[in-house]
Amino acid sequence: IFLTGLLVSKFVDTGKPVVLVDGNQSRVGKTQLVQVAGIVLDGEATTIVDFKADDTELAKAILANLNSRTQSILLVDNAKVANGGAINSPTIEANSTAPLISMRVVGTGKTFERPNDLIWCITMNHTRGSPDLVARSLPVRFHYDGNPADRDFGGRDPKDYARRHRIQLLGELVGIVNYWNQIGRPPGVARHSLTKWVEVIGGIMVAIGFPEFLTNSDDAAAEFNDSLGDVAALAEAAIMTRGPAVVFINDTVSGA
């Protein structure tokens, strides 16, 4: 996330993934991660756009955020969908990986446009995404057993640390990129739909000792994927209710 923000101008035309930050419960640090990235990249914590299931209202909130200030990250926080549904936002899907952000300004007939030099981040708890969204995402999973409120960090605050050491942190990121340049810019070989991004960021990650980068992305994406989740939900319902289940055999239907 930090490296993508540092090099974001390289991915405006070719796209960079939507960061899906998921937790097994609230208060495990999802929003704080994104805000720390904002402090390092911009000098201030990333502002929050509260998620709205109504896509028109979500588009209004995103547009208001884009008009109010310029930051490296667009954070859509606490995505929740009723009845176990999936995040399915035409606004996010149309703009998050496009070279140009283009949104209608409601009630004016005008269109807001700007280069898409932002990292789009969505935080959630056990929320699924549409297949199109998941295919263009970078899944980040948070898991904590127990009550997050009981954790004791000895007074340490990641956001305060990022503010006090921002220049050093940026220097470390630049040094990482310089090292990758010096060894000939080996491309990343991990699989992702955004090939330019994974060649650069994947290559850097491997160069600095993280060869496992994205190696578990298929498993993570499967857990986020709404279409696969529907199959799992049907199977779970059949087990919980002890049937009946429906089985398709040679295009015929039989009960089981």
Q: How far is CA 240 from the centre of its chain?
A: 32
Give the pLDDT confidence score for residue 115 in this predicted structure: 95
Contact between 47 and 69 under an 8 Å Cβ cutoff? The reply is: yes
Q: Which ranges in 20-80 belong to alpha helices (H)?
A: 30-42, 55-68
Measured CA distances, 236 to 229, 240, 242, 245 (Å): 10, 6, 10, 11
For residues 40 and 110, give the distance between their C-alpha atoms in angstroms, rounded to a whole number: 34
Contact between 53 and 95 under an 8 Å Cβ cutoff? The reply is: no
Predicted confidence (pLDDT) per residue in 48-96, tens digit: 999 998 999 999 999 999 998 889 999 999 998 766 667 889 999 999 9
Residue 205 has pLDDT above 90, yes or no: yes
pTM for the structure as a whole: 0.83
Predicted confidence (pLDDT) per residue in 94-145, tens digit: 999 999 999 999 888 899 999 999 999 999 988 788 888 888 899 999 999 9
Give the pLDDT confidence score for residue 131 in this predicted structure: 83
Residue 14 has pLDDT above 60, yes or no: yes
Predicted confidence (pLDDT) per residue in 219-244, tens digit: 766 666 655 445 444 454 455 455 55
Sign of CA dihedral 64, 66, 69, 72: positive
Residue 254 has pLDDT above 50, yes or no: no
Give the pLDDT confidence score for residue 216 in this predicted structure: 83
AA identity, residue 238: A
Q: What is the mean pLDDT of residues 152-161?
A: 93
DSSP state of 225: B
Predicted confidence (pLDDT) per residue in 177-189, tens digit: 999 999 999 999 9
Give the pLDDT confidence score for residue 137 in this predicted structure: 92
Beta bridge partners of 18: 137
Give the pLDDT confidence score for residue 201 in this predicted structure: 98
> Across the chain, what does the average pLDDT equal?
87
Q: What is the mean pLDDT of residues 201-225?
A: 85
Residue 249 has pLDDT above 50, yes or no: no
Mode of pairing for the β-strands spanning 252-255 and 246-249: antiparallel
C-alpha atoms less than 13 angstroms from C-alpha of 80 in its C-beta half-sphere: 6
**Cβ burial 118-144 (10 Å sphere, 16+ → b, else e):** bbbbbbbbebbbbbbbbbbbbbbbbee
